[in-house]
Amino acid sequence: MSPPNPPLATAAQRTELPSPERFLDIIADKLAATELLFRRDLETDVPFVQQAGEYLLDGGGKRMRPALLLLSARLLDRDSDEEVTYAAAIELIHTATLIHDDIIDRSSLRRGRRTINDLWGNSLTVLLGDWLYTRALQKALAHGNLAVIRRLCDATLRMTEGELLAQQRLGSIDLSVDEYFDIIDRKTAQLFAAAAAIPSLITPADSVAGAALGRYGRALGTCFQVVDDMLDFTASEHQIGKPVLGDLSDGKLTLPLILLLPRLEAPARRAIERVLEDRGFDRTPSSEILDLVAREGALEEAGEIAAAWAETARGALTGLPANEAREALELAPDFVLNRRN
């Protein structure tokens, strides 16, 4: 195995990676078909769902989970409508989660645009999320593949549990590294794992490849979430479309601070705790937190952990067919590690 990729690579290093467009070229047709299907899946006679659906489609999205699913299907040489159905379904599930999470976090911005709850209120937004979850499963049922439905249900349940566990620990300064990883595993990694493994469940099923791809997706998802949590410290509001240190002021402790806290003296610890208590930076300015994080190298350490997960993801691909889809999946962890928004 090659040494872990340096986390948060410099601009010079980043230019060595092929462009994401090239990396997605091999599934461009399938991604386009997924987008069309996603649009069709939102068709209904309920005016609000139509209206909110248009708004969601206009907002776009990285479509990471569909891309992962479609690359995995290409790697296993599956080429039918079925994987496109599941790619659209998994994006519907992801969208439902975001919509309900925005209610919970009282977010008014997502990807630089007003959230559904901010525009239409919580009542319609709760129901829209419910509709999207159920629609995803209804549409995925079209191919009569029970194993896929089971996998989607299991992943959705884990996601809800991850968010519930996170909510229950909101505002707590003593969240452990283990708890953090349990939460992000359920909240994020399990759906990535499902996306990667689902093509192996399409007839003829391939359980060996499925297990490897599941491990890949889970590690990639963990890497993705750690990097996402790091971006809360490093990216500007302009880049990620939401406020800097928003997690902390929402009461959420993430990996950089969990690593930092045990090294701090009581006064610095108290300064962080005040943000959790106040859900804001009235008593502790955000610059003070950012200085502490920089001084102790907490982001670098979190970056190393993310890089180790990226390496685990790549390692899981050993033994799978060596084709251009596998090359793309091998590159994906680098994109995840180096993303800026």
**Residue closer to a copy of itself, measured from CB, 8 or 49:** 49
Q: Near a copy of itself by CB under 8 A, which window of 124-132, 240-248, 274-282, 284-292?
A: 124-132
State the DSSP string of 183-222. HHIIIIIHHHHHHHHGGGGSSSP-HHHHHHHHHHHHHHHH
Q: How far is the CB of 299 from a copy of itself (least distance, A)?
A: 28
Interface with a copy of itself: number of residues (CB under 8 A): 39
**Residue closer to a copy of itself, measured from CB, 157 or 177:** 157
Closest by CA to 66, choosing from 43, 83, 41, 79, is 83
State whether the Cα torsion 211-213-216-219 is positive or negative: negative
Check residue 150 for interaction with a copy of itself (CB under 8 A).
yes
Q: Near a copy of itself by CB under 8 A, which window of 20-28, 144-152, 210-218, 227-235?
A: 144-152
162: which 2 tokens? Answer: 């991850």
Check residue 234 for interaction with a copy of itself (CB under 8 A).
no
**Residue closer to a copy of itself, measured from CB, 36 or 146:** 146
DSSP secondary structure code for residue 142 in this structure: G
Q: How far is the CB of 314 from a copy of itself (least distance, A)?
A: 31
Using DSSP, state whether 114 is helix, strand or coil: strand
Q: Alpha-carbon distance 246 to 222, whole Å?
A: 20
* Residue type present at position 247: D
Q: How far is the CB of 276 from a copy of itself (least distance, A)?
A: 16
DSSP secondary structure code for residue 263 in this structure: G
DSSP secondary structure code for residue 261 in this structure: G
**Residue closer to a copy of itself, measured from CB, 161 or 300:** 161
Binding mask 102-121 for a copy of itself (x = CB under 8 A): -xx-----------------
Binding mask 166-205 for a copy of itself (x = CB under 8 A): -xx-------------------------------------
CB 210 within 8 A of CB 201: yes
Using DSSP, state whether 111 is helix, strand or coil: coil
Check residue 146 for interaction with a copy of itself (CB under 8 A).
yes
CB 83 within 8 A of CB 73: yes
In the complex, which residues of this chain contact a copy of itself (CB under 8 A)?
A: 44-49, 100, 103-104, 122-124, 126-131, 133-135, 137-138, 141, 144, 146, 149-150, 153-154, 156-157, 160-161, 163-165, 167-168
